[in-house]
Structure 1
Amino acid sequence: MAEWHPIMAAVEGPPGVWRMIDPQGREYGRIEIRRVDAGRAIAYRAERTGVVLGWATSLRLACWKVHSDMLASLAPSGGAVADWGELTGNARRKAPQ
């Protein structure tokens, strides 16, 4: 059995535009094929929430960029919750005064 890849979440339409669709049917990213370098090369423009994430040389890589950014947005942000006791005065080593 093949493993799942983000390209399986890509739905094409209109031609040349792939929408990344989550399991609830909502669009979470968009990929557009573009001709670059005076039409000599093809690149894929990856964007999420209206922000361009970058360019890719394949649809597979562009899907991976959009999906990775979506997964990163689900993680909690900020520093560690633990203060290791420094703020409460319960640290193993006492701060020099």
Structure 2
Amino acid sequence: MSQRVNHWHPLLAAVEQEPGLWHLASQTGPYAVVRLVEIGGERGYRATTFSEPRHLIGYRRTLRGACEAAHRDWLRRHGPDPGTEQYPDLSGGSRRPPIESPAAGTASTVG
């Protein structure tokens, strides 16, 4: 059985607008906003949709994880959920268990 190899990651769709602020863009334009935030002394990233009114996608500890969550959300809005194995694990084995998203009250993978 052959294993799918992915070489592209949603982080490559991130265009830094200013320090700490990225827009994820496709051929049709921007679709998500990722912003560096500090909450309770911890730094992380908040992902939202680009279109107004903006909707919270989630919080992640890494830029890579926030871009992946934003891209997955964009894909879900355009077709069936591609699943968790769509992108390569670039964490070097440091993926953490799911955490509760304070705004949505749902579990999300920290990445």
SS at match of 1:13: strand
> Which structure's relative contact order is higher, taking Cα pairs within 8 Å and 6+ residues apart?
2
TM-score scaled by length of structure 2: 0.61
Identity, % of aligned positions: 32
Q: Deviations over 1:30-56 (max 9, x none)?
A: 00001111xx21010000131011100
Whole-Å Cα distance in 1 between the matches of residues 20 and 76 of structure 2?
26
TM-score scaled by length of structure 1: 0.69
**What pairs up with 1:24-35 in 2 under 5 angstroms?**
24=28, 26-35=29-38
How many correspondences in the alignment? 72
Q: Which of structure 1's runs of 4+ aligned residues deviate more than 6 A? A: none
Whole-Å Cα distance in 2 between the matches of residues 4 and 23 of structure 1?
15
Q: Deviations over 1:13-39 (max 9, x none)?
A: 121100001024x110000001111xx
Q: Tell me the equivalent position of 2:55.
A: 51
Which residue, 5, 10, 21 being the options, matches 1:6? Answer: 10
Cα distance, 1:8 vs structure 2: 0.1
1:36 and 2:39 aligned: yes
Counting helix residues as a fraction of each chain, which structure ranks higher? Answer: 1
- Structure 1's unaligned 5+ residue stretches are 77-97
CA RMSD after TM alignment: 1.5
Whole-Å Cα distance in 2 between the matches of residues 14 and 27 of structure 1?
15
- Structure 2's unaligned 5+ residue stretches are 1-5, 81-111
Q: Tell me the equivalent position of 2:92.
A: none
SS at match of 1:74: coil
Q: Tell me the equivalent position of 1:81.
A: none
AA aligned opposite 1:46? A
